């Protein structure tokens, strides 16, 4: 049922209806079929031209209340799955390792600790606000990154458990190798951080020489028995590292 009315003020100061105001009754929809709810989500995806639908988008374009659909199907991700759409991604369900890896990449890009106002696209995949929501503050996100790196560094340098250490001592009799040649991304970043993102040989860094490529190299070459531990790793630019060959120096 729909009627239209409006009010206008007379010269005497009274308000009267002029018949143009719109009164529209939105009836509550009860016992809507599951298929109709899912179809409406699909219709919103078609309307927005995307292969997913966020709750905010559905609230704007959908026929029903998104909370009604969530209660019916338990979660929005489940709704999207049934509808054959891709899961929309919010700030709160990004894996923590992805967030920390992104900070690491931004840090390497600048060659120094990134600032809050630098955490934005295209340099950063996520906004600084995303980190505030997840970690409580930008500083706490940076602390989480350092802790994340330190854990792996300790694991790679000092081994795991006493049982594993005992097994390693037995293995030493068969092989002199205690570490793998390849560096993990976290260990590589910890060395770059320790060395101030600067080539130990020529002193260049991305800060004073844009475009310089930094590498982490074994001081004592792997081919000559050097291990992949912090004390035997050093930052070099690509040019200095290539010129080194198998010679080792600090």
DSSP string, 53-112: --HHHHHHH-SS-HHHHHHHHS-HHHHHHHTT-PPP--GGGS-HHHHHHHHHHHHHHHTS
Q: What is the pLDDT of residue 2?
A: 46
* Predicted TM-score (pTM) of this structure: 0.43
Provide the token pair at 98. Answer: 């992805």
Residue 147 in this model has a pLDDT that exceeds 60: yes
Residue 177 in this model has a pLDDT that exceeds 70: no
Helix/strand/coil for 221 = coil
The overall average pLDDT reported for the chain is 75
Q: What is the pLDDT of residue 15?
A: 52
Provide the token pair at 157. Answer: 């340098």
Calpha distance 171→234 (Å, rounded): 27
Q: What is the pLDDT of residue 231?
A: 86
Within a 10 A sphere around the Cβ of 144, how many other Cβ atoms? Answer: 18
Q: What is the pLDDT of residue 154?
A: 52
pLDDT, tens digit, 9 for 90 and up, residues 107-138:
988 888 999 999 988 899 888 888 888 788 89
Instruction: Report CA-CA distances (Å) from 215 to 11, 107, 116, 134.
Output: 84, 15, 26, 31
Between 209 and 8, the higher pLDDT residue = 209
Give helix then strand counts, H and E, for the chain: 10, 6
Among 23-27, 68-72, 213-217, which is the least confidently predicted range?
23-27
């Amino acid at each position: 049922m729909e009627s239209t009315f409006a009010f206008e003020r007379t010269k005497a100061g009274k308000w009267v209806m002029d018949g143009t105001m719109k009164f529209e009754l939105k009836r509550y929809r009860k016992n809507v079929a599951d298929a109709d709810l899912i179809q409406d989500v699909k219709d919103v995806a078609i309307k927005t031209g995307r292969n997913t639908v966020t709750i905010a988008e559905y609230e704007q374009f959908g026929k029903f209340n998104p909370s009604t659909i969530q209660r019916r199907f338990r979660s929005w991700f489940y709704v999207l799955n049934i509808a054959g759409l891709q899961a929309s991604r919010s700030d709160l369900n990004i894996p923590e390792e992805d967030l920390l890896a992104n900070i690491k990449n931004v840090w390497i890009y600048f060659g120094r600790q990134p600032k809050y106002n630098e955490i934005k696209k295209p340099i950063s995949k996520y906004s600084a606000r995303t980190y505030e929501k997840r970690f409580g503050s930008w500083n706490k996100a940076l602390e989480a990154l350092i802790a994340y790196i330190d854990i792996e560094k300790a694991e790679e340098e000092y081994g795991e458990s006493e049982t594993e250490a005992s097994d390693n001592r037995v293995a030493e009799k068969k092989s002199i190798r205690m570490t793998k040649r390849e560096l993990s991304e976290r260990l590589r970043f910890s060395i770059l951080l320790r060395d101030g993102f600067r080539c130990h040989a020529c002193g260049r860094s991305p800060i004073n020489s844009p475009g310089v490529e930094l590498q982490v190299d074994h001081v004592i070459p792997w081919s000559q028995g050097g291990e992949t531990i912090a004390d035997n790793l050093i930052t070099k630019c690509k040019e200095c590292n290539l010129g080194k060959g198998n010679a080792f120096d600090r």
